[in-house]
Structure 1
Amino acid sequence: MTVRISDSRAAFEMAETSVTTKLVEGNYPNYRQVIPGSFERSVSIPRESFSEVLNRVSVVLADSGASVKFELESGLLELSASSSEIGEAKEPVDVSYEGEPLKISFNPGFLGAPLRFLDCDEMLLRFNDQYKPVVLLGDEGFLYVIMPMRN
């Protein structure tokens, strides 16, 4: 394979196949300023059961902009969703959490997206409150930032 890179383009050539692409212009956003430096709360969640519950609860959502609500308390996370057209769903997940009860909402598509790429048994959600960015940590340095929804 031959690789050629200029200031504005990159080309990849192999046998009779050639791919050329335009390089991104400008400065890459400073994503680190979105990630909080410290967290007040942390919850350890079994990835597989959480993913299954998230998928089941999300079935009732007709609108892609709708949210799944989390009610977090000591040792338990309850996911719920409702839609006037379809109905409502509510299901608990056992978690490792010791802290003040918290209610927070997420877009289920954004929250479910990283779960397909995680290969760990437990994942960690770290956050401060229901309005600030939440960090999902997985294995091998995996870090995903998601903003809660305001309801």
Structure 2
Amino acid sequence: MKIFCSKDALLSGVNAVQRAVSNKSTLPVLQGILIKSEHQSLQFAATDLEMGIRCEVPSQVSEEGTMVVPAKLFTDVVRKLPDTEITLEERDQSITICYYQSEIVLNGYDPEEYPLLPDLIDPISFTLPTIIFKNMIRQTIFSCALEENRPVFNGTLMQIEGSMIRLVATDTHRLAYSIAEIQNPEQSHFSGIIPAKTLSEIYRLLRDEDEVLNISFSDTQVVFQFGSIYLVSRLIEGQFPNYKQVIPQTCETKVNLSVKSFLEAVERASLLSRDKSGTNIIRINVEENELKIDQTSELGKISEQISVEMEGKNVVIAFNAKFLIDALKVIDSDKIIFELSGPFSPGVMRPLDNPNYLYLVLPVRTHN
């Protein structure tokens, strides 16, 4: 195998696939990146057997072939290469990288041992604008659980029904929900839990210029294609909780308030609210068109007041400040309606001008 290409092309190839490289696999070859040259392009691929990414970059191929390079070392080397034409040559699993009058030789792996990324057989597919999907990921993914004791919470439920796509994420303390309209002439139907790692990769790789995202799926896998990227992921097995049951249909108090004022007040109050366990609990008091946050700790005290429009009962309720901040940072509207029903029921935030998003957060029971 022998090819000529730019440093930029090599860099975009390794950057696209490197996060799919396995760092804890028993198969040494999975710590490599598969590079395949055919026609006038170079195909990069990596997988940890849960997720796989393929990407094509332009190159001049003088001899077709396949090689597997050590991912971390190859990526580090490419980053340090000068900005000139690079020649890659593979002979007996050793890879020679030539530039100017210099060369680097790396030991590779046997390409025969590298597992191929699956292409789905007879998949169901649909497309949607990348900008919509990217925003849906941004507004939900932070609610996925990080611990791995119950895998269904480590992913986001994606559902396609009619002309609707829905993403729902929850870690059992909070829940984020986003829907959008899509073209679905085939009336494809899908419901599956996509690992958070997969969605964060898609979010990282999606460019605004990749206008359309193609999503295909089977019972156990989902494929995302955009630009020169092909990303396949295993779906998480298990039953996602019935999220519709936990979203309250009524509320006792409705608070209409500015996202920016609320976010800034909560961030300031959280600086003085860290308790011994490291959690930031803040108490909110809503009465007579004012939202107050009074916080006292061994660090000092703060008293925040925001003018709001409210309907219904006065309420005092406590929340984990981080859970409020995470959501307020991704809500693109100026105003939200915060729906509350006493100190023990979940709070629900809805952007005033966007009926397609909702964030639910459970209160914290405080002893004072």
Q: TM-score range by the shorter chain?
A: 0.7 to 0.9
Of stretches 55-64 and 123-132 in structure 1, the one that deviates more from structure 2 is 55-64
Query: Corresponding residue for 2:246?
Result: 34
CA displacement 1:38-97 (0-9 Å, x = unmatched): 11211111111111111111111334323111111111110122332x222111011012
- How far did 1:104 drift? 0.7
Q: Does 1:115 align with 2:367?
A: no
Structure having the higher Rg: 2
Query: Corresponding residue for 2:234?
Result: 22
Residue identity (%): 30
CA distance in 1, matches of 2:240, 2:225: 27
Query: Secondary structure of the equivalent of 1:112?
Result: helix
CA displacement 1:111-150 (0-9 Å, x = unmatched): 1111111122211011211101111111322210011110
Residues 274 and 281, structure 2, Cα contact 8 Å, conserved in 1: no
Alignment equivalent of 1:82, drawn from 290, 296, 312: 296
Query: Secondary structure of the equivalent of 1:81?
Result: strand
Residues 71 and 79, structure 1, Cα contact 8 Å, conserved in 2: yes
Query: Corresponding residue for 1:150?
Result: 365
CA displacement 1:20-40 (0-9 Å, x = unmatched): 321021222101111112112
CA distance in 2, matches of 1:47, 1:121: 6
Counterpart amino acid of residue 101 in structure 1: N
Residues 69 and 80, structure 1, Cα contact 8 Å, conserved in 2: yes
Residues 253 and 314, structure 2, Cα contact 8 Å, conserved in 1: no
Matched length: 150
- How far did 1:101 drift? 2.6
Query: Corresponding residue for 2:340?
Result: 127
Structure 2, unaligned runs of 5 or more: 1-54, 56-118, 121-216
Higher RCO, 1 vs 2 (CA within 8 Å, ≥6 residues apart): 1
Counterpart amino acid of residue 331 in structure 2: L
Query: Secondary structure of the equivalent of 1:143?
Result: strand
- Higher relative helix content: 2
Question: What is the root-mean-square deviation of aligned Cα atoms in Å?
Answer: 2.4
- How far did 1:98 drift? 4.2
Normalised to the residue count of structure 1, the TM-score between the two structures is 0.86
CA distance in 1, matches of 2:358, 2:224: 30
